[in-house]
Structure 1
Amino acid sequence: MNKRHKRALLLLLLAAAVLAAVVLAVQSAKNRRNQEGAGSSGTTSGIISDGAAYKSISYHNGSATLSFALNKEGEWYWTDDPDFPLNQDYLIQMTTTLSTLKPQQTITDGVGPEDYGLSEPTRTLSATASNGQLTTLSLGNTTSDGNSYYMLMNESETPIFIISGELVKEMSVGIYDMLLLPELPALTEDRLGTVTLTGAVTTELSAFRAQAQPDESGSGSSPESGDSVTWLCNGADVTADEQMQRVLGQLSALRLDACVDYRPSDGAEALCGFDEPTATITVNYTGDGNTAQTLTLTVGNSVLNGDGRYVRVNDDSTIYRMAADKLDALLAVANNGLDAAPAGD
């Protein structure tokens, strides 16, 4: 190869290198534009900055608008009622979902928001980060498989993202479902004193515990006494009665299932049957620290269009729901008395 040929080859190689550099620069610029179009966060790892910390979240889920914020103690509260007993887990999960949100697919060309239900979105969300940065999301139609949603970000008409349905699922939880249900005391037999069941009749069940007796050496108690409980009703021993045992079983397993109405109106109280309760269950028991405690459970009407009963706990005006099979033995005695017990005076 002569010098002229070598020079021509060298020029070709230089031209190829320059062309490759130009292509790489163009591609890099295109990538930067796509990333900038994905939102103001400027992140390359997702739609929203990973690990973003939020101080407020507000969203409309298609039927209701809910807003939450962090208080000075770093706990979430419902801005409509800061005293509402909010279960923190729901907002913690939502902030985790937002901070790690990534698109399943990004659509940038040849489409408009109206093609995906985004011109008038039925679901919207705005979240303010701890640094003041506001992020807004608009959610449109589902994808053909129904598992994902089309989304726009920060009021931009492009790009259109496809995200999983997890965020929409979390936004669909009703506010009463976010209420932290009160935990009822553990009413095990060893803690019970008296149980009063009032409905059509009143039945009082009393626990009698024999004092522990010293053994023959005078240094201990006999194994036959001290731990046993005798249940009395109108002076009769009803310990072995099947109804009595069912009552004890239901008391030990009492659990609230859901909140029906928080701060109910007078009309709601009457509708749920608390103007004339079906039954009142009053339990005197020994609480933590060997303290005397009382639990009052007021039972109203049967739940409309569902299984269970409306109930109230102590002086709390909130109306809860409890499954019927958690109460049927208690209500049977409240309405008819205990079969094994003689009639009272």
Structure 2
Amino acid sequence: MEQKRKRLFILLFGVLLILLAVYFGIQARNKSEEKKKEAKAEAETIYVTDIEDLKEIKYNVGNGDFNLKKEGGTWYAAKDKDFPLAQSYPKQMAETFSKLKAKRALEGGDSLEDYGLKDPVYTVVLTDKQGKETTLYYGNVTGDDYYITVDNTGKVYTVNNTSISDLQNKLEDMAQLDTYPNIGSGNLKKEVITQNGSSTTYDSKNDDDSKNIAAVAGGLGAVKLGAAADYSVADKDLSKFGLDETARITVEATYTKDKKDEVLTLYIGSADGKGNRYVMMNDSRIVYLISEDICNNILY
């Protein structure tokens, strides 16, 4: 009986090994077939551009002229180098246009005018690290695609209309706004308001300030950074917003984050006449628009 069990065990184990070998063999074959399909697809892919290191992107797709440049690995707006450009936008543009895929290359004798390329709708100029320019011209729409040609080659391709989707943002849409902290009555420890050389302090350690702390915490917690009046204000222009040192109100809020004390500094300026006040935070150069009601609560 014991011998029969051993033989059965060996037989079953042998069958298991065979099944495993078959399984891994199928897996290996599937991977090989998948790689072949990918290689074939890549070989059949038509690229309109092949730019190794894109350093500059100039374009106009109906929102005005844009010029983005890269320096030391960082992209910036050429017209305003201090503008807080969110890097995700130019990086996505560079990824798209460095190797722009075409859906198909057109063959035949049609003229550029037939595709709307004699007077292009959009123009995109790409410059690599050597200073070589590649110009893309967008013509008529065909379904979900655009007709496109490159430089003066006369070759016409179709590319997906999503290729210009990242170019349709206004500059302010591409701003990297500051990160505003989470502040409430539960973590606000102290607020110091300084104006015209005098200061008012609300301290959570002072029982008499409990109502005041709750009020200013409500104001601080309601701040949402969004609309801005200036994204890279110069010192000489601070007075236009009532944010120069002689006119602004300084608010220093001490709060806890991850059991550590942090300090938020807000500079509150004049009103814009539309129900908002101009506000800056910490060492940022962005002038935000915050509602007067919220500002009044902060300055309770």
Normalising by structure 1, we get a TM-score of 0.57
| Residues in 2 aligned to 1:257 and 1:86: alpha-carbon distance in whole angstroms | 15
* Shift, 1:264, TM fit: 5.2
Q: Which structure's residues are more often helix, by fraction? A: 2
d(CA) in 1 for partners of 2:173, 2:140: 25
Partner Cα distance (1:150, 1:268) in 2? 47
Q: Distance in 2 between matches of 1:260 and 1:120?
A: 36
Shift of 1:78: 2.4
2-side partners of 1:205 and 1:267: how far apart? 30
1:311 aligns with 2:284: no
CA gap of 1:291–1:68, structure 2 versus 1, over 3 A, is: same
Aligned AA for 1:171? L
Alignment match, 1:209: 205
On the 8 A contact 1:176/1:261 being kept in 2, the answer is no
The residue correspondences of 1:294-305 to structure 2 (distance < 5 A) are 295-298=265-268, 300-301=270-271
Find the aligned partners of 1:172 and 1:120 in 2 and give their Cα distance: 20
**Matched letter for residue 209 of structure 1:** K
1:172 deviation in Å? 1.8
State how far apart, in whole Å, the 2-side matches of 1:91 and 1:311 are: 28
Q: Measure, in 1, the Cα distance between the counterparts of 2:127 and 2:44.
A: 20
Structure-2-length-normalised TM-score = 0.64
| Alpha-carbon distance, 1:124 to partner | 1.0
> Could you tell me how far apart the structure 2 residues matched to 1:309 and 1:68 are?
31
Cross-structure match for 1:261? 230
2-structure distance, mates of 1:111, 1:268: 57
* Alpha-carbon shift at residue 126 of structure 1 (Å): 1.5
Q: What residue number does 1:47 align with? A: 47
Counterpart of 1:220 in structure 2 is none
Alpha-carbon distance between aligned partners in 1 of 2:238 and 2:118, rounded to the nearest angstrom:
39
Deviation of the 1:205 alpha carbon: 5.9
- Measured on the aligned residues, the alpha-carbon RMSD in Å equals 4.1
Where is the strand percentage greater, Structure 1 or Structure 2?
A: 2
Give the residue type in structure 2 aligned to 1:148. Answer: D
Deviation per residue, 1:44-68 (Å, 9 max, x gap): 6332456843122222233422222
- Partner SS for 1:295: strand
| Gaps in structure 2 of 5+ consecutive residues | 1-42
Structural mapping, 1:221-260, within 5 Å? 230=207, 232=209, 237-238=210-211, 245=214, 247-252=216-221, 254-260=223-229
CA change 1:48–1:329 in 2 (3 A) is same
Q: How far did residue 295 of structure 1 move?
A: 0.9
Q: Residue deviations 1:239-274, cap 9 Å, x none? A: 6xxxx646424413534114442345889975x676
Give, as a single letter, the amino acid of the residue that structure 2 aligns with 1:165: N
Partner SS state of residue 155, structure 2: coil
- State, as a whole percentage, how many aligned pairs show the same letter: 24
Q: Is the 8 A contact 1:194 1:205 kept in 2?
A: yes
1:158 to 155, 158, 167: 155
Q: Which moved more, 1:88-97 or 1:249-258?
A: 249-258
User: How many residues align structurally?
Assistant: 252
Q: Are the equivalent residues in 2 in contact too, given 1:282–1:296 (CA < 8 A)?
A: yes
SS at match of 2:164: helix
